[in-house]
């Protein structure tokens, strides 16, 4: 089923391990619970070994030990109105800062219909979609953005200045998982290019540009001469459109928050200084919830009833495949790749944490 060796573990086992390990890194009970849920939820939905699951513990270990992450950091609301808040994350766990920021936005949306929270001095917060889902679980429409390391060139340029700047969008549904869009503003990610390079496979010619701004289907063209590092730039969705969306994202997450932005973001692992943006919108301010649910169900029905190109295919809502995967893994357990398991065993042993993997 997977192209790598994996072992399967119950979600509870992974949560228990991640919580114990994070506490050993200095996380409080609350912080450990939030980070563990973010990491293990990602592991439960995505392909193992691609960097979205328990692998996140590697960088978290480095950053908790070098001061890049400060467990117990204050979540400081610098300025606030009934509708917005400006938050300083004080180098806390990005997952925790983002979780608190989204809950703050939700509270404001419950009161005045919309909540907009902008955060500086944070860290990598996991999946943007995870935090958008938090809004949807509370009955809100959520829009989440973050800035990221410079990997995208402005359209027409050779050099990366902007990040892939991921977005998460959550839309609540009655009696069903939310519509959940989790996406970067680039056509692919570095992980996919590295995978294709390792496997000797061609890639579409709109995944990256070389350092000279050329397209290529050969992943090797995007690597440094020693083949150790990717040096090309990620290709924006819709070309100048994705460039524009990424610029907008960096303005509201980085420039406006007081975090780093542009080529500076994510360059110093002791001070990533990431910026985030959280928007929660309350549909109840616009119509009765039953009416909203009914109308949304009508739109979904139109989508689901559209004839698929593949006669055996099916039309999916954003996030639907991931929710199915998550449901299946409640039975099978969550696959973790062997390389990650091996490395976690070593990290845990070094820190005297019991490792059930």
Residues of span 14-73 touching its own copies by CB under 8 A? none
The Cα 169–Cα 64 span in angstroms is: 29
Least separation in angstroms between residue 296's CB and its own copies is: 5
Residues of span 228-247 touching its own copies by CB under 8 A? 237-245, 247
Q: Kindly state whether residue 166 participates in binding its own copies, applying the rule CB under 8 A.
A: no
Least separation in angstroms between residue 81's CB and its own copies is: 4
The Cα 336–Cα 357 span in angstroms is: 9
Q: Kindly state whether residue 248 participates in binding its own copies, applying the rule CB under 8 A.
A: yes
Query: Nearest CA to 234 among 167, 189, 195?
Result: 189
User: Among 8, 29, 74, 82, which residue sits at the site for its own copies (rule: CB under 8 A)?
Assistant: 82
Burial of 137 by CB count in 10 Å (0-12 exposed, 13-18 middle, 19+ buried)?
middle
Cβ proximity to its own copies: between 25 and 119 the closer is: 119
Q: Which span sits near its own copies by CB under 8 A: 24-32, 289-297, 325-333, 343-351?
A: 289-297
Using CA atoms, how far residue 233 sits from 40, 152, 162, 182, 202, in Å, is 30, 5, 10, 21, 17
Handedness of CA 280, 286, 288, 290 (dihedral sign): negative
User: Among 54, 128, 149, 281, which residue sits at the site for its own copies (rule: CB under 8 A)?
Assistant: 281
200 phi-psi bin (left φ>0, alpha ψ -120 to 50, beta other): left
Cβ proximity to its own copies: between 20 and 296 the closer is: 296
Strands 84-88 and 114-122: parallel
Residues of span 95-114 touching its own copies by CB under 8 A? 108, 111-114
Least separation in angstroms between residue 287's CB and its own copies is: 6
Strands 76-80 and 84-88: antiparallel
Least separation in angstroms between residue 169's CB and its own copies is: 5
User: Among 181, 230, 339, 357, which residue sits at the site for its own copies (rule: CB under 8 A)?
Assistant: 181
For residue 257, give every residue at least 6 positions away whose Cβ sits within 8 Å of its Cβ, in sequence order, or none.
86, 118, 119, 120, 275, 276, 277
Q: Kindly state whether residue 350 participates in binding its own copies, applying the rule CB under 8 A.
A: no
User: Among 12, 175, 310, 350, which residue sits at the site for its own copies (rule: CB under 8 A)?
Assistant: 310
């Amino acid at each position: 089923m997977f192209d790598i060796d994996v072992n399967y573990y119950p979600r509870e086992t992974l949560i228990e391990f991640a919580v114990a390990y994070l506490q050993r890194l200095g996380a409080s009970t609350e912080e450990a619970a939030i980070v563990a849920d973010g990491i293990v939820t990602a592991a439960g939905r995505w392909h193992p070994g691609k960097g979205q699951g328990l692998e996140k513990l590697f960088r978290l270990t480095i950053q908790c030990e070098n001061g890049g992450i400060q467990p117990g950091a204050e979540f400081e609301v610098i300025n606030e109105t009934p509708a917005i808040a400006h938050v300083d994350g004080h180098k806390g766990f990005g997952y925790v800062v983002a979780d608190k920021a989204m809950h703050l936005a939700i509270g404001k949306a419950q009161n005045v219909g919309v909540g907009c929270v902008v955060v500086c001095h944070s860290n990598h917060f996991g999946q943007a979609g995870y935090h958008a889902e938090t809004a949807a679980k509370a009955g809100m429409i959520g829009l989440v953005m973050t800035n990221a390391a410079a990997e995208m060139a402005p359209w027409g340029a050779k050099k990366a200045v902007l990040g892939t700047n991921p977005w998460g969008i959550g839309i609540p549904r009655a009696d069903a998982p939310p519509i959940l869009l989790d996406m970067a503003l680039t056509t692919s990610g570095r992980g996919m290019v590295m995978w294709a390079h390792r496997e000797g496979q061609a890639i579409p010619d709109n995944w990256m540009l070389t350092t000279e701004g050329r397209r290529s289907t050969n992943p090797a063209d995007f690597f440094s001469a020693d083949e150790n590092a990717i040096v090309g730039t990620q290709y924006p969705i819709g070309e100048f459109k994705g460039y524009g969306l990424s610029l907008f994202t960096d303005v509201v997450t980085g420039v406006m928050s007081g975090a780093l932005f542009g080529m500076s973001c994510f360059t110093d692992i002791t001070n990533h200084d990431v910026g985030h943006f959280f928007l929660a919108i309350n549909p109840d301010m616009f119509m009765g919830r039953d009416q909203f649910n009914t109308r949304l169900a009508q739109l979904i029905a139109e989508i689901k009833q559209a004839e698929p190109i593949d006669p055996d295919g099916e039309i999916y809502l954003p996030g639907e495949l991931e929710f199915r995967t998550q449901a299946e893994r409640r039975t099978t357990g969550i696959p973790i790749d062997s390389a990650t398991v091996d490395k976690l065993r070593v990290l845990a042993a070094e820190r005297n944490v019991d490792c059930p993997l």
